[in-house]
Structure 1
Amino acid sequence: MNIHDRPFFAPTRRLALGLTGVLLALTVAGCASGSRKPQPTPLEPVAALVSARQVWTQAIGPVDPLLVPAVHGGAVALANAAGMVTVLEGETGRVRWRAEAGAPMGAGVGFDGRRVALVTRANDLVVLTERGVAWRQRLPSRTFTPPFVAGERVFVLGGDRSVAAFDAQSGARLWSQAPRGTEPLVLQQAGVIGAVGNTLVVGIGGRLVGLDPDDGRVRWEAAVGRSRGANEIERLVDLVGRVGRDGDVLCVRAFQSAVGCVDAASGRTLWAQPADGATGVQADAERVYAVEANGRVMALRRSDGARVWANERLLHRGVSAPLALGRSLAVGDAQGFVHLLSRADGSFLNRLPTDGSAIVEGPVLVGNTLVAVTRNGGVFAWRPE
């Protein structure tokens, strides 16, 4: 289960940094070490212990690294770098509808089954339906996190850590919460925004914050990561998507700082463990699954964060955020493979090829179909058997 809880409101990972609005094309790993990038670990042969039959493919055109595929019901919404939105049936790959945003995508997408929301590079929030653009609104700050669409509203988390809500039909601004503090650096990567019950949950700095969706009032705050280090880059701390969920417990990663779990019912931090990584996590009743910056895939005990197992056979391969499905854990890599690992011990169960370009954000599950999107715009679907 993910953070986007539908009963809510009942009535590349890009490691660049922004400094006072100016984007610095610096990778954190390169800045920290100054050393040559390690070579990807060669892949070992894998026996297909879990079969997965490819059932369809689609092509949507090259995509931006900030694309996050959005799943609702049996459909997945996508947008390419040029701003073309495509909604696909998970079962068959059939195109439900397409629409043009009219400008290149900067962050996206959000999807409630009817509407798709994205932010353009010109900083416009655009909401589309099968009829085309429904409305657009200029945002006051750069945005890197996909909008969240639920309860006839569209919620936006700004790169400056501001939060705003808009009416999904008209685009009217309902409320906004000003940014907190004056952080000199912000992470140019999708953050955390979603829902648990009737609470809007966002990541602000190293904290998970629960807001009243009607007015933006803060209900609770829970710290996961804390600023540390000798310079501004090392002190940067932001929560990153995706979020692992087990009931009311949300497990998240603080960029290059920690992995931790929070009780969203009470706003209490259950535990936080130091961890060096840049991608989101998955969780079930027993474990939290995470990928470290060097490509190490790990399972942590959900109760206290103690390590259960680690797989180091994908080091330096640009491994994506994980997806838990059945007895498998699916991760993508920068060479276009989707790897299926055992949730029990991390051993390889299968390897699925795509078009050779990087898997964007990580695989997603649409109904009973595993879907991965590549930087070249290939959409690949398998049905585990």
Structure 2
Amino acid sequence: MGLALALVGCSSTRQAPKPAELAPISALQGVRLAWQARLPAVAFPLEVSVQGQQLVVAGSDGTVLGLDAVSGRELWRAALAEPLAAGVGSDGRLAAVVTRSNEVLVLEGGRTLWRQKLPAQSYTAPLVAGGRVFVLAADRSVTGFDARTGRKLWTQQRPGEALVLQQAGVLLPVGDTLVAGLSGRLVGLDPLRGSVRWEAALAAPRGTNDVERLVDLVGRVSRQGEVVCARAFQAAVGCVDAVRGNLLWSKPANGAQGLHGDERFVFGSESDGKLVAWRRADGERAWTSDQLQFRSLTAPLALGRSVVVGDSQGLVHLLSREDGSPLNRLATDGSGVAAAPALAGGTLVVVTRAGGIFGFRPE
């Protein structure tokens, strides 16, 4: 496996730009704090797994927690006592995480069902679907396991590049196709056999050295029906027909976090903190907001009439879907938002670096 690279340019000695000052805000969309829960600290690429009104989250120390999103009530808890590198994937019955010792571990109701060694580290939450568990590893391999027994069913391996990103990639089901991000491509796989059905390039390697040529797709993605829109790290944003496998459009974009959207727009935060709405139909920009510049934004969540993003100071910003104007601002514990905001059971769920879990509900 190639060297894991957390961020391109992270070794720069230049002082980081000062986050944009936030103007006082009038709450144009009412939101209240409904409940709070706690985890140990979160310092890995967490994905909040949502199935109906159940959500599953995890802390870096190996604590995995199932919660009812409406009440915040704890449904189950597992203390794995092993540091985690990726998670959580869940189908509502089974939950899967990856440990830093390169093992995929599957839980049922907080009890360990099975574990299997992986050929390389993974930074992407496993996908639990169709009676299988799928793992995207940092060596550009995808492996399918039987969800009940842990038996390895197949592996699809791609040539590895010298560098990979130490953050979550793309892995999701679309109909009867498993869609994975491999380098700068979305690849459609047969989930039963692992064979490749189609490939669509969102971005191509560029530059003269390994750092400049790094191309990876990052989670989360924006899916509407058969169309999946994704971001190529600091290169492009594009949409693919995940049934036919053809690229619908790709536009240059300089961001490191994933996307979300609705039937009209695809939303994303650029590396400088600008929030952008691209038209889903053709990729043209509908609007750009610079009010949150240099605030290290998460991937967004399209929610009602708003776009929701978290920042590195633990604030949650709700902006208008139509033009990016501010609708509300929510405080957490000040430690920074650790994962893209999620919607579960009508509740906006936010997890912070310090392990705070906040359930907000629109009024």
1:65·1:361 contact (CA, 8 Å) conserved in 2?
no
- Partners of 2:25 and 2:238 lie apart in 1 by 32
User: Cα offset for 1:30?
Assistant: 3.7
Percent sequence identity over aligned pairs? 53
Which stretches of structure 1, 4 residues or more, deviate above 6 A after TM superposition? none
User: Hey, what does 1:16 align to over in structure 2?
Assistant: none
**Pairwise CA RMSD:** 1.2
- Which residue of 230, 233, 237 maps to 2:208? 230
User: Hey, what does 1:362 align to over in structure 2?
Assistant: 340
1:100·1:132 contact (CA, 8 Å) conserved in 2?
no
- Which residue of 159, 178, 184 maps to 1:206? 184
* Secondary structure in 1 matching 2:211: helix
Q: Equivalent residues in 2 for 1:174-323 (5 A)?
A: 174-178=153-157, 180-323=158-301
- Partners of 1:318 and 1:370 lie apart in 2 by 20
- Which residue of 363, 370, 374 maps to 2:352? 374
Structure 2 length-normalised TM: 0.97
Kindly tell me the number of residue pairs found equivalent between the two proteins. Answer: 363
* Secondary structure in 2 matching 1:232: coil
- Partners of 1:192 and 1:362 lie apart in 2 by 14
User: Hey, what does 1:38 align to over in structure 2?
Assistant: 17
What letter matches 1:128 in structure 2? L
- Partners of 2:7 and 2:201 lie apart in 1 by 26
User: Hey, what does 2:98 align to over in structure 1?
Assistant: 119
- Partners of 1:29 and 1:23 lie apart in 2 by 13
User: Cα offset for 1:64?
Assistant: 2.1
What letter matches 1:334 in structure 2? S
User: Cα offset for 1:225?
Assistant: 1.2
User: Hey, what does 1:28 align to over in structure 2?
Assistant: 8
Find out whether 1:147 has 2:126 as its counterpart: yes
- Partners of 2:183 and 2:358 lie apart in 1 by 34
1:105·1:118 contact (CA, 8 Å) conserved in 2?
yes
* Secondary structure in 1 matching 2:266: strand
User: Cα offset for 1:357?
Assistant: 0.9
- Partners of 1:41 and 1:231 lie apart in 2 by 33
* Secondary structure in 2 matching 1:116: strand
More displaced stretch, 305-314 vs 61-70: 61-70
- Partners of 2:74 and 2:239 lie apart in 1 by 37
2:202·2:232 contact (CA, 8 Å) conserved in 1?
yes
Deviations 1:323-378 (A, max 9, x none): 00100000000000000000000000000000001111211000210000000000
1:21·1:142 contact (CA, 8 Å) conserved in 2?
no
User: Hey, what does 2:77 align to over in structure 1?
Assistant: 98
* Secondary structure in 2 matching 1:93: coil
User: Hey, what does 1:61 align to over in structure 2?
Assistant: 40
User: Hey, what does 2:56 align to over in structure 1?
Assistant: 77
User: Cα offset for 1:102?
Assistant: 3.5
Deviations 1:213-252 (A, max 9, x none): 0000111111111111232112111100001011111100
* Secondary structure in 2 matching 1:233: coil
2:67·2:74 contact (CA, 8 Å) conserved in 1?
yes
- Which residue of 95, 104, 117 maps to 1:138? 117
Find out whether 1:52 has 2:36 as its counterpart: no
- Partners of 1:115 and 1:30 lie apart in 2 by 36
What letter matches 2:308 in structure 1? A
Q: Equivalent residues in 2 for 1:320-359 (5 A)?
A: 320-359=298-337
Deviations 1:26-83 (A, max 9, x none): 642444x652111111111111000001100001111123111111111110111110
What letter matches 1:87 in structure 2? G
1:68·1:360 contact (CA, 8 Å) conserved in 2?
no
What letter matches 1:273 in structure 2? K
2:279·2:286 contact (CA, 8 Å) conserved in 1?
yes
- Partners of 2:301 and 2:9 lie apart in 1 by 24
- Partners of 1:41 and 1:377 lie apart in 2 by 25
What letter matches 1:299 in structure 2? A
Q: Could you list the runs of 5+ residues in structure 2 that have no partner in the other structure?
A: none
Structure 1 length-normalised TM: 0.92
User: Cα offset for 1:131?
Assistant: 4.9
User: Cα offset for 1:111?
Assistant: 0.6
User: Cα offset for 1:21?
Assistant: 4.8
More displaced stretch, 228-237 vs 291-300: 228-237
User: Hey, what does 1:9 align to over in structure 2?
Assistant: none
- Partners of 2:243 and 2:138 lie apart in 1 by 26
When residues 131 and 69 of structure 1 are mapped into structure 2, their CA distance, relative to the original with a 3 A threshold, is: closer
1:90·1:369 contact (CA, 8 Å) conserved in 2?
yes
What letter matches 1:286 in structure 2? R
User: Hey, what does 1:15 align to over in structure 2?
Assistant: none
1:64·1:105 contact (CA, 8 Å) conserved in 2?
no
Deviations 1:289-320 (A, max 9, x none): 01100110010111111111111011111100
- Partners of 2:110 and 2:349 lie apart in 1 by 26
- Partners of 2:56 and 2:65 lie apart in 1 by 6
